[in-house]
């Protein structure tokens, strides 16, 4: 069931979204080669709690898989071939040449915000840099379709088309999602699909749109049993960007932007 949010609820989601964006801004300023992913996680958790909010991902258990170990951190930090859900670790060091997806969720006032950016550390391979730029543009093109009267897969197909035009691979088994009082609500928002299909978009739908795009041929992110991190099948790099948005007439409203992402 897709819930349409009232303007009062959207006001609360703006607060959560703004805090997610500020947390990512902080990490963008602080991330440096030599840091551990655990240090990044700690910094984010302290910042979020200092702002009277709770990390959305911490202790999260997917409804589809209630036996999995609850997610043990504030952030997902996914490096290079890691697509999503990289668990912060005191032994995992980020280094020059890496691309690092940081995904952050915040719960405050009864509502979640969710966003991700892929950071580039130092000088990286030209093709990998292009992957990062194209994935960010995929997100922008998806957001541009999130307007009242369009259909859900107009978002999906805009993402897919742009990624494919560079012969990049769309990760198909991980999707965006509705968001609100639950981190994951209906509908699922795939990053591929046929335009003019899917549910009609209505003002007040709140969506987390999150393209995951890879070099190479992998169309799936796979994880080992009892492990959270999901990687490309061929070990090639993957990038990930995400915003929480509200469907509006004419132009979607983005709840997780800051001057750094404008």
Q: Should residue 57 be labelled a site residue for ligand MF3 when binding is judged by CB under 6 A? A: yes
Q: Report the residue from 18, 208, 213, 246 that binds Co ion according to the rule CB under 5 A.
A: 208
Q: Which of residues 205-224 bind ligand MF3 (CB under 6 A)?
A: 208
Return the structure tokens found at 45.
């958790």
Instruction: State the binding partner of 153 from Co ion, ligand MF3, none, CB within 5 to 8 A by kind.
Output: none
User: Does residue 107 interact with ligand MF3 by CB under 6 A?
Assistant: no
How far apart, in whole angstroms, are the C-alpha atoms of residue 145 and residue 149? Answer: 10
* Residues numbered 144-183 forming contacts with ligand MF3, rule: CB under 6 A: 177
Contact letters (x/-) for Co ion, 155-194, by CB under 5 A? Answer: ----------------------------------------
**Could you say which DSSP state residue 99 is in?**
E
Minimum CB–partner distance for residue 115 and Co ion (Å) = 8
Contact 243, 139 (CB under 8 A): yes
Contact flag: residue 114 with ligand MF3 (CB under 6 A): yes
Q: Are 206 and 13 in contact (CB under 8 A)?
A: yes
187 prior amide bond cis, ω within 30: yes
Distance (Å, rounded) from C-alpha 109 to C-alpha 54? 10
Binding footprint of ligand MF3 on the chain (CB under 6 A): 57, 60, 71, 76, 85, 103, 114, 177, 208, 242
Binding footprint of Co ion on the chain (CB under 5 A): 114, 208
């Amino acid at each position: 069931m897709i819930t349409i949010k009232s303007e009062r609820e959207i006001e609360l989601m703006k607060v959560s979204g703004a805090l997610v964006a500020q947390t990512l801004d902080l990490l963008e300023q602080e991330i440096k080669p030599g840091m551990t992913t655990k240090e990044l996680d700690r910094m984010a958790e302290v910042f979020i709690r200092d702002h009277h909010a709770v990390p959305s991902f911490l202790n999260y258990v997917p409804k589809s898989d209630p036996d999995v170990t609850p997610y043990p951190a504030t952030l997902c930090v996914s490096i290079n071939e890691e697509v999503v859900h990289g668990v912060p670790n005191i032994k995992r060091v980020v280094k020059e040449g890496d691309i690092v997806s940081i995904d952050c969720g915040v719960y405050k006032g009864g509502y979640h915000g969710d966003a991700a950016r892929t950071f580039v550390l130092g000088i990286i391979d030209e093709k990998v840099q292009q992957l990062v730029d194209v994935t960010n543009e995929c997100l922008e093109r998806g957001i541009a379709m999130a307007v009242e009267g369009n259909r859900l897969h107009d978002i999906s197909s805009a993402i897919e088309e742009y990624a494919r035009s560079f012969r990049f691979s769309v990760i198909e088994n991980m999707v965006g999602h509705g968001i609100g009082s639950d981190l994951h609500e209906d509908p699922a928002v795939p990053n591929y699909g046929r335009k003019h299909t899917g549910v009609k978009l209505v003002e007040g739908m709140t969506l987390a749109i999150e393209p995951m795009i890879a070099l190479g041929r992998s169309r799936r992110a796979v994880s080992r049993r009892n492990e959270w991190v999901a990687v490309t099948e061929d070990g090639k790099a993957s990038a990930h960007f995400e915003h929480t948005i509200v469907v509006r007439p004419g132009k979607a409203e983005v709840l997780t932007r800051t001057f750094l992402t404008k």
